[in-house]
Amino acid sequence: MTVRLRATTLVAGSAAAETLVLSEPLSFWGGLDSASGRIIDQWHPQKNAVMSGRILVMRAGRGSSSGSSVLAEALRRGTGPAGIVLLARDAIVTVGAMVAAELYGKSCPVVLASEADWMAITGAGSLAIDTQDEAAIEI
């Protein structure tokens, strides 16, 4: 059975993939190796996890403003996430995905989920994001 949850579109697109749920926010700047898609922040609980081709699920980003360029570079290289689900708006993450779409033609939809749906989203092994008609997350 598929459950369709409402979301808010931050960057349009569609993606379906296995999830990578982060228990802590991640700064892409210094936290992600854009060449491999691997989390390299040595203090992050998901250190060494690879986000390439997965739906990244995290409450929020953790700054630095240069993180946008790291995310865009990972998407250009094909090592970035297939999509991103956030609980809190994050301009840095959003800008990185927007830049990758504009400069490189690489799609990485970014959506904002609701607190009420967060447990179901973080518990899902895979997700689909679709922003065509009305932004939605399918579990």
Structure tokens at 44: 């992050």
64 labelled catalytic:
yes
What are the beta bridge partners of residue 8?
Answer: 112
Per-residue pLDDT tens over the stretch 21-31 = 999 999 999 99
Per-residue pLDDT tens over the stretch 92-101 = 999 999 999 9
Which regions in the chain score pLDDT beneath 70?
none
Q: Which of 135, 129, 119 is nearest to 54 (CA)?
A: 129
The full set of domains in the chain, from first to last, is 2-136 (3.50.30.10)
Give the active site residue among 14, 36, 52, 64. 64
Query: What pLDDT does residue 138 have?
Result: 83
**Residues of the chain above pLDDT 90, percent:** 87
